[in-house]
Amino acid sequence: MEKLRRVANEIAYAQSYAKLSAVHRSLIPLLSFASSIYSVVLSFRYYLYHLGLFSKQRLPVPVISIGNLTWGGNGKTPMVEYMARCLADSGVRPLILTRGYAGGDEAKMLERHLLGQGGPTKLGVGANRAATAYSFFKKHGYTDPRGKTCSGITCLSQDAVTSLGEEISAVILDDGMQHWSLYRDLEIVMVNGLRPWGNLKLLPLGPLREPLVALRRVDVAVVHHADLVLERNLKDIELMIREFKESVPIFYTRMAPTHFFDVRNIKLKVPLKDVYNAIILCVSAIGSSDAFVLGMQKTGACYIDQLDFSDHHIFQVKDIEMIMNRLRELEYKFGVKPIVVLTEKDYDRDPEILKHLHPFRVLILCSQLQIVSHQGFNEESFKLLLKKLFGVQ
């Protein structure tokens, strides 16, 4: 399965099929057929919703959907966290609804970041997002910042609910763009600036989960990894988005490294300067490993090697052996012990197995999403947009 995912990824982002190997090209007809089936199913599902045969539910609080059109590396989870912090800082108590699939690494990371310190954010995990939301409303109550205030089933006065202190006043729908069964008040699409659209084909021949015409539904577009993208490429992405929706505001984000932590002591912050002039092996199973490596290159490491797995891959014993072999090769080549660096998503997938990389030092890179100023759009204008649409103070 790992090899098949790699092949599909290479085909999806190939600049020319002529440059692919004969084995890869032989799979294109099969993938093309599967893509056609996917397109038919997607269109059928869309029309069932459009005709009202599949119902949509409206939650009693504002819903912000954060999603993407392509697989992996779009910054969706960091944006969910950023949005939760932004709302919480404004006095809005958000509930994040996530499916929690593929090992639950994203949900675990969000829980560790947002719930560990007892903050106002709550996290609901489950495929039925509406049912999950209502279970939280029943337990904690809810407040619609646009007016109506309720707790559980019974509506209370504003003063009564304020005294409860746990009422939910917004929902953040993680990976929500294709989750059509819930109405949303704000649709945000995340775009991977390094690899925006691939070959423009639907899954599994290409990386698209929906045709690009779906951009007409979005209220906000966010180009992620903008700091790693040439200006002319950013312009091409913007032109593509505006081809489908000319008036949509486009924001730009980056992942800003803050520190490391050691897998054997996650409470101890390790400064970025600790890897200066070091030999690094970047190991990752994320959607955009290139962005991870490019970010690490800015730390001043002497040499960086990388070992990539498919997105959400769960490390097995054989993977640990493969990593150990690469580390020994680097140690023999440079005469010093290399340092292993992974992302937080890789850590949260299975923290214990990474300890088997001893005696090599294993560090986890911690980063935060930042909105970068570009063409008049910045963090302040992003927050003003929230205030305008949701009454966030």
Do the domains 63-249+377-390 and 255-368 sit in the same CATH topology, yes or no?
yes
Per DSSP, 179 falls in state -
**Please, is 372 exposed, middle or buried when counting C-beta atoms within 10 Å of its C-beta (0-12, 13-18, 19+)?**
middle
pLDDT averaged per 10 residues in sequence order, the chain, 393 residues? 80 89 93 97 94 93 97 93 94 93 82 84 95 96 75 39 68 96 96 96 96 97 97 97 97 97 94 97 94 95 96 94 98 98 96 96 97 93 82 53
In Å, what is the CA distance from 313 to each residue of 57, 188, 310, 348? Answer: 33, 26, 6, 12
**Please, is 195 exposed, middle or buried when counting C-beta atoms within 10 Å of its C-beta (0-12, 13-18, 19+)?**
buried
Buried-exposed string 204-235: b where 16+ CB fall within 10 A, e elsewhere = bbbbbbbebebbeebbbbbbbbbbbbeeeebe
Q: What is the residue whose two structure tokens read 């486009």?
A: 250
The answer to whether residues 338 and 278 touch, using CB atoms and an 8 Å cutoff, is: yes
d(Cα 102, Cα 93) in Å, to the nearest integer? Answer: 27
* Closest to 193 in 3D by CA, of 74, 41, 112: 74
- Phi (first) and psi of residue 131, to 5 degrees: -60, -40
Which CATH architecture fits 63-249+377-390?
3-Layer(aba) Sandwich (3.40)
In Å, what is the CA distance from 357 to each residue of 326, 332, 351, 354? Answer: 11, 17, 11, 6
The residues facing 304 across adjacent strands are 280
CATH no. for 255-368: 3.40.50
> What's the pLDDT at 308?
95
In Å, what is the CA distance from 143 to each residue of 3, 77, 91? Answer: 48, 25, 11
> What's the pLDDT at 3?
76
> What's the pLDDT at 387?
81
The residues facing 220 across adjacent strands are 188
In Å, what is the CA distance from 130 to each residue of 23, 80, 178, 368, 393? Answer: 44, 18, 14, 29, 27
One-letter amino acid of 379:
E
Who's near 43: CB < 8 A, 6+ residues apart?
none
> What's the pLDDT at 240?
98
d(Cα 228, Cα 73) in Å, to the nearest integer? Answer: 13
d(Cα 387, Cα 371) in Å, to the nearest integer? Answer: 17
Domain ranges of the chain: 2-50, 63-249+377-390, 255-368
The answer to whether residues 301 and 260 touch, using CB atoms and an 8 Å cutoff, is: no
Q: What is the residue whose two structure tokens read 């409470």?
A: 267
Beta pairing, strands 149-151 & 142-143: antiparallel
Using DSSP's 3-state secondary structure scheme, residue 6 falls into helix
* Closest to 8 in 3D by CA, of 24, 22, 23: 24
d(Cα 170, Cα 36) in Å, to the nearest integer? Answer: 37
Query: Residue ranges of the alpha helices (H) in the chain?
Result: 2-12, 22-50, 76-89, 105-110, 129-140, 158-164, 231-244, 289-297, 317-334, 344-349, 379-390
